[in-house]
Chains A and B, each alone.
Chain A
Amino acid sequence: MNRPAVEATDLVKDFGDKRAVDGISLAVPAGSIFGLLGPNGAGKTTALRVLLGIIDPSSGTRRVLGHDQPLEAAHEVGYLPEERGLYPNMTAREAIAFMGALRGLPLREGRRRADDLLAGHGLGDWARKPIRTLSKGMAQTVQLLGTIVHRPRLIVLDEPFSGLDAINQAKLEELIRSEARDGVTVIFSTHVIAHAERLCERIAIISGGKIAFEGAVDEARDRLRPIVRLRTRSDDGPWRSAIPDNARHERGEWVFELPPGGPEPLLKALLDGDAGIETLAIERPGLHDAFVAIAGDAAAAAMGQQQEPS
């Protein structure tokens, strides 16, 4: 197995009396797309900043691309911070080339790649325009291109979908997939679970500064039993004993977790009990449901308030 691109062990970060990151341990496999999920204030950004060496941890260790000091790997890392920032008077191509130069890419090569990247993302005509004349979405794209211009082995994106319209969100998702296909490790944080569900192979759910779960997306889903949605002609009868006591009746159908025996005993009991089955669906739980279960109701409530349409 490849060495993880990023490893953290018992990372703690305190700001005064407030503990923003509370003993985080994780391992991000090289070449994977890794999602860091959690509501705002959960500690995602602080965790990423500690991992990248922008700030030092109060305790614990981290290792990025084999380096104990993350800045030593800076040439192989691309980082898009949550708060986007570019010099407003710089042209788009110069901004991208400058970000590449910060990561060790020669300026001339950076300019050449910037022209290619801008043209490839429909911004060729804006290459020599100052950033201040670009729309917010364009500027965000320019910063993203600056993040990848030096062809890093690890890309870290903090809330990359924030502020993008649906079309640009789809483009960004495709860009992330494309980078991962080329063997690049991508870590992104989000509070929008749908993006993580579509993109990630592995996730970490962070809540209150702690990792509540780390593993494959399927593994998170498998923590929950499948959900049964049942619509019957009969309102009552012997079949009712086949469904759990905590089943909910929502919009004319019963919703409950699949009993431990599996679908066959349930189906038999419903048929034998004259339920008059109209529809029966067994659904695998979504990541959202898994998040609710793993991070707890409080985190889910916070997530629900901040959920953005995707």
Chain B
Amino acid sequence: MHNQKLRKLGAVALMAVVVGAMTYVSQTSTSKLEAAQTEQSNALLTPWGEPDLQGIWSVELLVPLERPNGVTTEFYTEEQVAELDRERANGSVFGNHVRAERGSEADVAGAYNAVFTSQRPTGRRTGMVIDPPDGKVPPLTPEARARQTELFEYQAALLQNTVVCRDGLDGCIGGTYGPRSPLRDQQPPYYSTRNINRANGPEDRSLGERCMSGNLPNFRGGFTGIHYRIVQSPGAVTIFYDVGQGQGFNRVIPITDAPHLPAHVRQWWGDSRGRWEGDTLVVDVTNFSGKTEFRGARENLRLIERWRRTGPETLEVVSTLEDSTVWTRPWTVVQDFAKQPEAPNRIYYEPRCHEGNYGLPGLLIGSRAEDEAFAEGRGRDPGTRCIAGCASPEGRDPLALR
């Protein structure tokens, strides 16, 4: 009995020692393995041994979201890139070659000219979408298509009595000219994140006009550019998104295997859970709010991101989007970022679109003045004017991501 107890004790003690030793060994083995794997890129590890994603990152080359029609390769040749650069440099960017008739509404509309917008060189990639292999966003589900049509018809109805539709301009979005629609007195069929041709209140205006367009996923980088600042510590990656003309936001990705927030807790930027898989930060984002919108996807969106430092000056972010209520299959997008020098610190932490938003109250008070003038017989019906961004004579860069 005594001997058996001693033996059991001995077994337990031995187990403890072996556990300790094996833990030590497995930890050092893991670190040794990591060290071996990344030996040639030690500059790309943080001091605590994780892949280093830190720095200021920007998208420097223009790549449209989808591969343009008629293009069948994943990459352009150097000659094709040079040709595209030439074409785009000579083409129209935001109306620098386009003139509307003097004195017309279209002549004074349009906020951005070629001096304001950045014209980035053409990238080698023919499109950001890498899956499906044809480089196009997958088709919408019938229910998503029906929802989009519903909102489109509402938007078109609010435009039909405008001079833009009378004159058959692009801003009429393919609608027809007609009398004032009774839909002007109704709300859109569901929460719209885009402009409608009305300014009864802030909800009639786009998220951008309300200074809330900074959302996930962030594939923009059209004319306003895209800058990230990434800082890491063990257990967290924080990314400041300087996007959308002062509509930036900060996002913290916890490195954890804790479950997501409960399903009823919904956020604009969803709920991120990160983990390291070798040299890649894999982030699973769920719990999106119904107020957010990405090409039709709202609260059912699931985003899986893979962040990887591909070289001293490069970062690749591969994002897979899933929403079976919107797209017939998941699709995947790649973004290539270039490291920016630290010393000039050229990233804008003041997302003060909101603090300086004189545009929105200006638009609202202007609409109230128009309503009053019309009611008193002093002015035209406000419904005949387009205030949904349709009157600007902008040309379109064929590759531009808007």
B and A form one assembly:
no
| Partner-A contacts on B (CB < 8 A) | none
| Partner-B contacts on A (CB < 8 A) | none
